[in-house]
Amino acid sequence: MVIFIRPVRVEYKVIHTLDYVLKADSTQGFGFSLKNGKPVFDHPSSEANYQWCLAHPDEVECMGESRDVYSLKLSAVGICECGQEIELTDDSCGCSLCPYCGRWHSPLGQEVAPPETWKDGFVMFWYEVPAETF
């Protein structure tokens, strides 16, 4: 049985951009990352494009600020029976393999037989880890 260090969790990232579209073709345009309401340029061409938009208001229209929210599922982390820290993913037949000792674990941290030994095939499940596990 795995000793849990961190449960599965979802992290969210909010990205703010300042958007411009070309007046000649509204399917094309520019989006500039914003931090504290000001454009942030990750590449020199980004700043050049932003300056171009400011200098050519007759060719582009500022659509204002947009907000996109992205989510990322982070797998649980625990200590395997072999003593090594492992990530408990569910992307290999619903289980994960310890890269150090070769043991297979369910997302609940229980050791399971290797998938190739399963007689009835496999079924993918989503497991809820009880709060008292942590």
Which of 22-26, 42-46, 128-132 has the weakest average pLDDT?
128-132
Same domain membership, residue 38 and residue 90: no
Percent of the chain predicted with pLDDT > 90: 67
Query: β-pairing, 29-35 with 76-79?
Result: unpaired
Same domain membership, residue 52 and residue 28: yes
Same domain membership, residue 126 and residue 85: yes
The pLDDT-based confidence of 123 (bands split at 50, 70, 90) is: low
Residue at a domain's end among 72, 100, 123: 72
Residue at a domain's end among 50, 72, 94: 72
Q: What are phi and psi of 24, to 5 degrees?
A: -75, -25
Q: What is the pTM of this model?
A: 0.56
Q: Which carries the bigger pLDDT value, residue 117 or residue 74? A: 74
Could you tell me which residues come within 8 angstroms of residue 126 by beta carbon, excluding any fewer than 6 positions away?
90, 107
Same domain membership, residue 50 and residue 17: yes
For CA atoms 91, 97, 98, 104, the dihedral sign is positive
**Closest Cα to residue 7, out of 131, 98, 122, 115?**
131
pLDDT for 105-118, tens place per residue?
988 889 998 888 87
